[in-house]
Structure formats: structure tokens, C-alpha cells
């Protein structure tokens, strides 16, 4: 499935107000479905579909929402319920019991309830809310897909800077990748966003840190407009709230753009990418590093690595990070070190190397072992024996599926 996004523009205040009504109605149906599952036993997906009909008969505002959109809201409830069942079967510690949505920001239509114009420049919503036709603004790629691909669903999403329509196409994205025969192991960190086995480092721009001054200013202005106990709050309060939301939205988009570009570059340049599967939920419990870890957005980066790996048919492997920083990549001796120690000094083989580079080599070794390939970077920091050919620090060649791969010695 391919998802393209277009912004809904040139709409009236009444149309946007009706979008809010549709979103709240979808949230209402989803929460009612969750409550029905809590109060009854052996409830399945078909039972939630039947509930949608009963809600439409009981509540007039629920009848205004398109029947397919009501079913999509029930499907959202069932998705959270089925995920809860799966976690219970796997006996995970955190089961993730389904919760009620308080601030829903989207409504989803299936094949009915909307109609796209012939020139794909506007979309009309034909359900009981009477939203009518509204213009859409999108890039050339999205417009091309609107003409040639079949649309399965349309999702209206509310954000701080307006309303967006997401089109879900019944197609899979596949591209021809350029195969270089190279492999890379990535160590994720804070001082360096990523560092590979060849000591190549990428520094994260720290988008949240750079925007903190603007965030604090917007938060102070919002707090001054808030009046305790007043319902509803003033228009000036909501204006300040939207301004604060736009600052957060910009940071989110900067992180996403950074993650996409970095992941695309890494997967495009290498045939095998190995990264460490970090448990970020446990790492943010360290309150001294929580803000920096959240700002780095490692999870989003690794998700895009997997995405581009599937598009270009390249191997992307996630390995456990256990002992990658402490084990010597040369001899395997375990050297315990604190987080502040940035140099790996092995007491057994006397190798001194950057802590992150040492971890990247161990990560790459683990990943290649998963693939059934014995990879080692045997040339760094070692004295040349008489039987060896070449000079000290010379690159060694390995093969992957019959193709030569260059593993550079560390500098």
C-alpha cells in the first residue's frame, strides 16, 4: 500500500468546522466499540460492525457519518483489541490494554463518502455532514498517482497548520536498487548519530535543542492566556495553542525529513545494513539523557532503514546491542567501561579505538553471523606478521553472494 498526502485548501470556516464534527463522531464510535468489547464476552469484528448500525439508529449525529467511515472507526477499535490479544499470547510484560481516545485527529473513509474531481484538483465529501467540495494541493508525484492508481481509502487528518487528505493506493512500491557489494554496521549514539565500522560519523542537528527558545516563548504565552476553571477558554488561548502546535509540528517534520534522507543514503550505498535494536522505552528512564534520546529519534530512522531495504531488495538486519560496546572487536575480550569513557582500550591485545567504532564492528559481526557469513576486520591496529602480505592497515576483501566487498581498515 502506498500513502500520498495532499493539503485541503481554500475551504470555508464552516467546512473545517464540519470536519471537526466528523472527526469527533469517528472518535465516539471507536470509543463505543471499545466499551462494548469491555462489557461483553466473545466479541468479534463482525459484532463491532453490527454495533455501528445500532449507534446510527440511536444517535442522529452518528447517522450523518458515512457507513463505511463508521466501519473504519470500528476497525480501529478492533486493531487495538487484536494487538492486545497478540501481546497476551506472546506473554509480553506490557499488554497494552485498549484505551479510549480523548484527542482523535482523523477520520477515515473507505470507497464511499467522497468523490474526487476529474482533474484531481478537488475532492467532495458526500456524507450527511454536508462538507461539500474542497480544493487539494499536492506535489506532482501525488497528482500522478491520483490519476493512475486505485484509491482504497481516504483519511482526513487535522494538524496544527490545517487539514490534510491522505490517499491510500492499492499498490506496492518497488524500485531497482544499485548494488555496490558493500556492508555497513551502524552504532547509534548521542555524540554521533551514527558511526560505522570505518569510523565514518554523522552528527545529529538537534532540532529540539535549537527550537527550545521558541518553544518556551510559545508555552509562556499560552499559559498566560489560560484561565483556570473557565470553560470554554478564550479565542486568544486557542490562537496561542495553535501557534505552539505549529512549533512542535515543524520539529516533527524536521526529524522525519532527516531520518528519511539519512536512511535513504545508507541503504542506497550499501547492500547489507546492520543496526542495533535499541530498547528506547527503557533508555529514556535515564532523566539526564531522556530529552537527547527523544530528540535523536532513533526509532524513526530504523523504521525508514527497513522501509528502503524492502523497496530496493536489500538486506537490513537488526541485532541486539548487548555487549557491543564492551567486547573488543579484535580479540573478543570484555572490557567494562563507563558511559563517559569514549575510547576502547583492550587490556589483552592493546588495541585502542573509538568506543563507537568498536561497537559498530561488533554490530556488523553479529549481523553477518545472522546471515551465515563470517566477517572480520582483521587489519586494524595490529602488527603485520611476516607471512602476511601488504602493508599495515591495508584493506581486506570479503565476498557476499559471490560479489567482492571491501572492508576498510580503521584509521
Task: Give the pLDDT confidence of 68-81 residue by residue, as tens digits.
Answer: 999 999 999 999 99
- Residue 398 in this model has a pLDDT that exceeds 80: no
- Residue 380 in this model has a pLDDT that exceeds 70: no
Least confident of 164-168, 353-357, 405-409: 405-409
Residue 177, CA distances (Å) to 267, 271, 311, 315 in order: 9, 9, 8, 12
Once rounded to an integer, what is the mean pLDDT over residues 297-314? 93
In CATH terms, 176-203+256-411 corresponds, of 3.30.420, 1.20.1050, 3.10.450, 3.30.1120, to 3.30.420
What would the grid cell of residue 18 be?
464540519
Residue 290, CA distances (Å) to 39, 131, 190, 283 in order: 38, 43, 11, 7
Contact 276, 174 (CB under 8 A): no
**DSSP state letters, 265-320:** HHHHH-SEEEEE---HHHHTTSTTTHHHHHHHTHHHHHHHHHHHHHHTT-EEEEE-
Among 111, 108, 85, 110, which Cα is nearest to 96's?
85
What is the reported pLDDT for 405?
Answer: 40
Least confident of 143-157, 203-217, 263-277, 388-402: 388-402
What is the reported pLDDT for 319?
Answer: 92
Contact 238, 150 (CB under 8 A): no
Among 269, 341, 329, 275, which Cα is nearest to 306's?
275
Mean residue pLDDT of the chain comes to 86
Once rounded to an integer, what is the mean pLDDT over residues 112-139? 92
- Residue 394 in this model has a pLDDT that exceeds 70: no
What is the reported pLDDT for 235?
Answer: 93
Distance CA 133, CA 154 (A): 14
Among 393, 396, 394, which Cα is nearest to 407's?
396
Locate CATH 3.30.420 in the chain.
176-203+256-411
pTM of the model: 0.82
What is the reported pLDDT for 377?
Answer: 60
Question: In this structure, what are the phi and psi dihedrals at residue 132, rounded to the nearest 5 degrees?
Answer: 85, -160
Contact 152, 168 (CB under 8 A): yes
pLDDT band at 178 (very low <50, low <70, confident <90, very high): confident
- Residue 399 in this model has a pLDDT that exceeds 80: no
Q: What does the angle CA 29 – CA 35 – CA 40 come to, to the nearest 5 degrees?
A: 125
Which letter, b or e, does each residue of 226-247 get, where b requires 16 or more Cβ atoms within 10 Å of its Cβ? eeeeeeeeeeebeebbeebeeb
The sign of the dihedral angle between the CA atoms of 328, 333, 335, 339 is: positive
What would the grid cell of residue 355 be?
568506543
**DSSP state letters, 69-100:** HHHHHHHHHHHHHHHHHHHHHTT-S-------
What is the reported pLDDT for 383?
Answer: 32
- Residue 323 in this model has a pLDDT that exceeds 80: yes
What is the reported pLDDT for 391?
Answer: 35
Amino acid at each position: 500500500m502506498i500513502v500520498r498526502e495532499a493539503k485541503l485548501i481554500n475551504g470555508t470556516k464552516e467546512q473545517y468546522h464540519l470536519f471537526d464534527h466528523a472527526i469527533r463522531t469517528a472518535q465516539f464510535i471507536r470509543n463505543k466499540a471499545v466499551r462494548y468489547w469491555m462489557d461483553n464476552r466473545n466479541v468479534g469484528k463482525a459484532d463491532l460492525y453490527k454495533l455501528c448500525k445500532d449507534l446510527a439508529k440511536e444517535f442522529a449525529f452518528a447517522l450523518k457519518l458515512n457507513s463505511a467511515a463508521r466501519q473504519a472507526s470500528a476497525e480501529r477499535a478492533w486493531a487495538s483489541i487484536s494487538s492486545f490479544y497478540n501481546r497476551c499470547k506472546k506473554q509480553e510484560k506490557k499488554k497494552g490494554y485498549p484505551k479510549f481516545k480523548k484527542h482523535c485527529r482523523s477520520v477515515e473513509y473507505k470507497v464511499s463518502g467522497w468523490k474526487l474531481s476529474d482533474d484531481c484538483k478537488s475532492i467532495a465529501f458526500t456524507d450527511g455532514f454536508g462538507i461539500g467540495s474542497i480544493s487539494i494541493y499536492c506535489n506532482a508525484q501525488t497528482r500522478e498517482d491520483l490519476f493512475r492508481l486505485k484509491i482504497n481509502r481516504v483519511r482526513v487528518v487535522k494538524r496544527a497548520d490545517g487539514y490534510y487528505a491522505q490517499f491510500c493506493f492499492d499498490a506496492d512500491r518497488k524500485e531497482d536498487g544499485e548494488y555496490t557489494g558493500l556492508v555497513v554496521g551502524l552504532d547509534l549514539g548521542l555524540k554521533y548519530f551514527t558511526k560505522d565500522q570505518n569510523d565514518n560519523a554523522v552528527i545529529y542537528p538537534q532540532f529540539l535543542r535549537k527550537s527550545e527558545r521558541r518553544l518556551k516563548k510559545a508555552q509562556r504565552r499560552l499559559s498566560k492566556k489560560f484561565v483556570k476553571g473557565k470553560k470554554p477558554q478564550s479565542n486568544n488561548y486557542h490562537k496561542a495553542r495553535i501557534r505552539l502546535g505549529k512549533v512542535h509540528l515543524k520539529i516533527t517534520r524536521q526529524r522525519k525529513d532527516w531520518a528519511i534522507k539519512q536512511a535513504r543514503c545508507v541503504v542506497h550505498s550499501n547492500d547489507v545494513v546492520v543496526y542495533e535494536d535499541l530498547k528506547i522505552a527503557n533508555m529514556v528512564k535515564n532523566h539526564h539523557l531522556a530529552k537527547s534520546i527523544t530528540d535523536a529519534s532513533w526509532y524513526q530512522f530504523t523504521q525508514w532503514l527497513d522501509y528502503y531495504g524492502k523497496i530496493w531488495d536489500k538486506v537490513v538486519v537488526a541485532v541486539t546491542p548487548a555487549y557491543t560496546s564492551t567486547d573488543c572487536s579484535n580479540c573478543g575480550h570484555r572490557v567494562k567501561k563507563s558511559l563517559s569513557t569514549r575510547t576502547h582500550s583492550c587490556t589483552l591485545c592493546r588495541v585502542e579505538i573509538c568506543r563507537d567504532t568498536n561497537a559498530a564492528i561488533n554490530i556488523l559481526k553479529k549481523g553477518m553471523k545472522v546471515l551465515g557469513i563470517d566477517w572480520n576486520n582483521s587489519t586494524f591496529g595490529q602488527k603485520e606478521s611476516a607471512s602476511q602480505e601488504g602493508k599495515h592497515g591495508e584493506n581486506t576483501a570479503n565476498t557476499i553472494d559471490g560479489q567482492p566487498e571491501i572492508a576498510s581498515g580503521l584509521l
